[in-house]
Amino acid sequence: MSEDHAGPAATLAARVRHLEALLEQRGLIDARELDRSLEAFLARASPANGARVVARAWLDEGFRARLLSDANAALPELGLSMRGGLQEQRLKVVQNTEQQHNVIVCTLCSCYPIALLGPSPTWYKSPAYRSRVVRDPRAVLREFGFELESAVQVNVWDASAETRYMVLPRRPAGTDNLNEQALAALVTRNGLIGVAPA
């Protein structure tokens, strides 16, 4: 074994492999099933989904109204749903305006609309973000290089096992001639969390 593979991570990797082998012997898991479910998950869950939702909402007022009043009912219009997990989670989409900015968090753990945003980044799950964004959201936004005007009110939405949130960012100025696909390309994962303008 080379030195590169020594250390705690290697030990952990070996322990995970050992556990998988034990569970396979007991017939509780199947390695191929594991690979398949992981591939399916990674193929399905992407921030491109959230970006499509936002672009449609920017272009279609009717869709935006339906999305804001009942996101779970509106998502199927784009072939999306919050039913990816073991149970359907309620989604509430919160709209940024000139007066109000929204940020999402899960202070207790890591609840996140994975189906629309993809796997969450490590910082979202960190005690640093979870503890501080509810106490001083403006300071946390600044750490992302996002200076929010003092006149704008900040709303922080704390997700739970049953309810997830997604931010609908403001449409950037000068994008009147862009089509839906080009608009979606302007939307970032951080914008959907609320730590970036879009």
Partner 1 sequence: MSRINDVGGMQGFPPVEEEAGEPAFHADWEAHVFALNQALLRHGVYNLDEFRDAIERMPPAEYLTSSYYELWFRAITVLLAEKGVLTEEEMAGG
- Residues near partner 1, by CB under 8 A: 9, 12-23, 26, 28-29, 33-35, 37-38, 41-42, 86, 105, 107-110, 118-119, 121-123, 125-135, 140, 143-144, 158, 161
69 is catalytic: no
Backbone angle region of 53, left / alpha / beta, with phi > 0 → left and psi within -120 to 50 → alpha: alpha
Closest to partner 1 by CB, 95 or 120: 120
Closest to partner 1 by CB, 108 or 185: 108
Q: For residues 115 and 52, is the Cβ–Cβ distance under 8 A?
A: no
Closest to partner 1 by CB, 43 or 173: 43
**How much helix, strand and coil, in percent to the nearest 5, is found in the chain?**
50, 10, 40
Q: Which of 2, 37, 69, 110 is catalytic?
A: 110
Q: Which of 109, 120, 131, 150 is catalytic?
A: 109
For residues 125 and 112, what is the distance between their CA atoms, to the nearest angstrom? 10
3 state DSSP class of 118: coil
160 is catalytic: no
Min separation Cβ 18 and partner 1, Å: 4
126 is catalytic: no
Min separation Cβ 180 and partner 1, Å: 26
Closest to partner 1 by CB, 119 or 172: 119
Strand locations in 63-173 (E)? 90-95, 100-105, 153-158, 163-168
Residues making up the chain, counted from first to last? 198
Min separation Cβ 72 and partner 1, Å: 19
Residue 83 CA: distances (Å) to CA of 72, 114, 118, 136: 9, 11, 14, 33
Min separation Cβ 107 and partner 1, Å: 3
For residues 40 and 55, what is the distance between their CA atoms, to the nearest angstrom? 25
81 is catalytic: no
Q: Which of 111, 126, 150, 160 is catalytic?
A: 111
Instruction: Report the catalytic residues.
Output: 106, 109-111
